[in-house]
Amino acid sequence: MSDAPQRWSDEQVALVDLIDRVIGGGVVISGDVVLGVAGVDLVYLGLRLVLAPAHEVEQSVALGRRSG
């Protein structure tokens, strides 16, 4: 991994921002998921459907450790 500066065009920055916000922002909905194998439902989970970029998960874990 390099820390070398990367100059992006306005269009590239805009596209990256938009996609980042689509999967990293927005309303989070609670939902239910059934996990199954070979068509047989095995586990029914009530959970919050949270998809976040890895860095946000890392930050949440770190904050949880600090407060815990």
Enumerate binding residues for another protein (CB under 8 A). 2-8, 10, 13-15, 17-32, 49-51, 53, 55-56, 59
Closest contact distance (angstroms) between CB of 63 and another protein is: 13
Q: How many residues does the chain have?
A: 68
- Do residues 46 and 32 touch, judged by C-beta distance below 8 A? yes
Report the C-alpha gap between 64 and 4 in whole angstroms. Answer: 32
Nearer to another protein, 14 or 61 (CB): 14
Closest contact distance (angstroms) between CB of 67 and another protein is: 15
DSSP code for 26? S
